[in-house]
Structure 1
Amino acid sequence: MRRSRLVLFLSSLFLTAATALTGAATAQASQLAAAGGYVALGDSYSSGVGAGSYDSASGDCKRSTKAFPRLWATANAPSSFNFTACSGARTGDVLANQLAPLSSATTLVSVTIGGNDAGFADVMTTCVLQSDSACISRINTARAYIDSTLPGKLDSVYSAIRSKAPNARVVVLGYPRFYQLGTTCLGMSETKRKAINDGSDHLNTAIARRVAAHGFVWGDVRPTFTGHEICSGNSWLHSVNWLSIGDSYHPTAAGQSGGYLPVLNSND
């Protein structure tokens, strides 16, 4: 009996210590990242489209004060913060318009990119307005592009980031699954929902491979969004919004703070 109690006590002590060390390590990582400059690159998932509260100075880029890069910067007070992510950005836009703030003093870079190159908006438009077969066909076209062309475009972006920010920790965040399956959901068949989710998984897998090849950090947001997909009853993603069509299939403010920010926090 005494031995059992001792084992339980030591196990509890070990778990407490491990939790404390993990928390300390995460805090230390954030402090190290904040000691230098933070640059947030990417597309609408980084700029915060769908979260509202847009900075008027950002114009069509729609950079939100509720986007995860802004939330991280507010919480960690890096020595400098440059937010160049822009709605609609493709890999070429990152290369042409977003990399100027990077330097040897940059210690943290975050980026979401690749969805627009793969034709995200056209895929979703096709799936919303057309048949199951048309939706699947358009997704298959996107998958072929992801396999053949996107890796090289991602390589160009990642190589440029490393060249301009040689000392930075680079966190590449992915995209959520959009739909909860096996539920009643008006407006989109189960066939379409599954095909869209599978397409998102395919994109994430392709991005993760190139991230690993460059020695960057992969930030998978699918676990944090689980239970908060469209049709879940507690969605952190906008469904089709005919009044503000650009918000469709983008994270809400809760998706930015609850879906994306924790992943950056755990990988910064």
Structure 2
Amino acid sequence: MRRSRAGALAALLVAVVVGGGAALAVTQHDGAGAGATPPRPTTTAPSRAAATGASGTPAPGATSGASGAPPSSGSGAGVRTVVVLGDSYSAGNGAGGSTGACYRSPRSAARLYAASVGARAVDASCSGAVVSDLVSPDRAGNPAQDSVVDQRADVVVLTMGGNDVGFGDIVTQCFLLATGARPGGCAEEVSRARGLLPQVQTALTDALLQVRFRMRPDAVLVLRAYPLLAPDRPFVQQGGYDANAGVRELGTDGVAMQDRVVRAVRARVPGGAGARTYLDTSALRLFAGHELGAGGVTGTATAGGTASVPWFDGFQTPGADVADVYHPNALGQAAWAQSLRDFLAPLTR
């Protein structure tokens, strides 16, 4: 979602009034999350010595990341340059401290990771980016993101594809207006997004191949799966449509699509150089139970007796810009940084 503070907020407020919708109460209260772990498309752990086979693996257990500070150093001794590509999830919308036209934050997961291993971060991510922006100038005239990728890159990390399937429209229709099965509503947006996945798969495969060809054969390329936006509990809307179930299913379909992309890149780069291309699905497990609305808005205890704090900005999060909504906050980005460090540790020694 591309940011526009006054304009986008006004548009959403008008949509609420005209559409008769009500904003979902998603604030920073504690809440219990059902948080069932979604299926994981890959199981083979990556290693520098044996970088073949499956496209990647969920990272080992990551810490909760209780502050916006970088995780402790100690991994990634072979990493000197980290290149950050991608969209608002890579740029760190929601974590605070965003600057410039692309709203990049020093608290993004990738930049926190780079700081934790003492590496230089080269950040070309941009809020609102689509797949074509990886390899071509964007609508604002910014150069292709892959123009910053060269032989000095040790790690290239990105999220990409959410805007291509209408991330902003899904958030608006499914969670702000809660339109359910109404014509043009949440159900149609989810169905439309699912129908776009094949063409996103083709475009993202081609773009990542171009990125991969710019990298050294031993450098690591990591495509990160997005967190699932909706908790594992019903949110039944007009016409009986369960928006949470629909959005979660779309999310898991998206991860399966990303897995196919990474496998294609690994297979198509000659000489085995594509083998060091991975899919990091740690977000699926990491954010489970920390979604907006996971435990309601009043805060309840989980079965284990601990409270689940949202790791996303909501419509009512104090100080949040409209385009921060449904993006990881500082807690979420810090935890995601830790999981990235865990994922990359065996690959970068």
- TM-score bracket, shorter-length normalisation: 0.7 to 0.9
What is the letter of the counterpart of residue 110 of structure 1?
V
Q: How far 1:73 moved relative to its partner?
A: 1.4
Q: 1:137 to 1:52 in 2, by over 3 A?
A: same
Match of 1:223 in 2: 285
The question of 1:110 aligning with 2:157 is answered: yes
CA contact (8 A) 1:66 1:253 kept: yes
**Which whole-Å deviations, capped at 9, do the CAs of 1:15-58 have from their partners, x for residues lacking one?**
xxxxxxx9xxxx886112x1x4210110000100011112x3xx
Distance 1:184 1:139 in 2: 14
Partner-residue secondary structure (3-state), 1:106 = coil
TM-score (norm 2): 0.62
CA contact (8 A) 2:151 2:214 kept: yes
Partner-residue secondary structure (3-state), 1:132 = coil
Give runs of aligned pairs for residues 23-42 of structure 1, distance below 5 A: 30-32=76-78, 34=79, 36-42=80-86
CA contact (8 A) 1:185 1:231 kept: no
Match of 2:118 in 1: 77
What is the letter of the counterpart of residue 154 of structure 2?
T
Distance 1:88 1:184 in 2: 27
Match of 1:13 in 2: none
Match of 1:10 in 2: none
Identity of aligned residues (%): 27
**Match among 154, 160, 173 for residue 210 of structure 2:** 160
Q: How far 1:151 moved relative to its partner?
A: 1.0
The question of 1:201 aligning with 2:252 is answered: yes
Distance 2:289 2:150 in 1: 39
CA contact (8 A) 1:184 1:231 kept: no
CA contact (8 A) 1:229 1:235 kept: yes
Distance 2:236 2:122 in 1: 40
Distance 1:115 1:249 in 2: 12
**Which whole-Å deviations, capped at 9, do the CAs of 1:155-174 have from their partners, x for residues lacking one?**
12111111111332011101
5+ unaligned residues in a row in structure 2: which ranges?
Answer: 1-59, 61-72, 137-143, 267-276, 296-308, 345-349
Q: How far 1:74 moved relative to its partner?
A: 1.1
What is the letter of the counterpart of residue 170 of structure 1?
L
CA contact (8 A) 1:40 1:84 kept: yes
Larger radius of gyration: 1
Give runs of aligned pairs for residues 233-248 of structure 1, distance below 5 A: 233=295, 234-241=309-316, 244-248=321-325
The question of 1:121 aligning with 2:168 is answered: yes
What is the letter of the counterpart of residue 151 of structure 2?
S
Q: How far 1:241 moved relative to its partner?
A: 4.5
5+ unaligned residues in a row in structure 1: which ranges?
Answer: 1-21
TM-score (norm 1): 0.80
Greater fraction of residues in helix: 1
Partner-residue secondary structure (3-state), 1:178 = coil
Partner-residue secondary structure (3-state), 2:163 = coil
Partner-residue secondary structure (3-state), 2:155 = strand
Q: How far 1:179 moved relative to its partner?
A: 2.1
CA contact (8 A) 1:154 1:210 kept: yes
Partner-residue secondary structure (3-state), 1:39 = strand
Distance 1:76 1:45 in 2: 21
Distance 1:63 1:250 in 2: 13
What is the letter of the counterpart of residue 287 of structure 2?
F
Match of 2:16 in 1: none
Distance 2:200 2:209 in 1: 14
Partner-residue secondary structure (3-state), 1:117 = helix
Which has the higher relative contact order, 1 or 2, with Cα contacts under 8 A spaced 6 or more apart? Answer: 2
Match of 2:145 in 1: 98
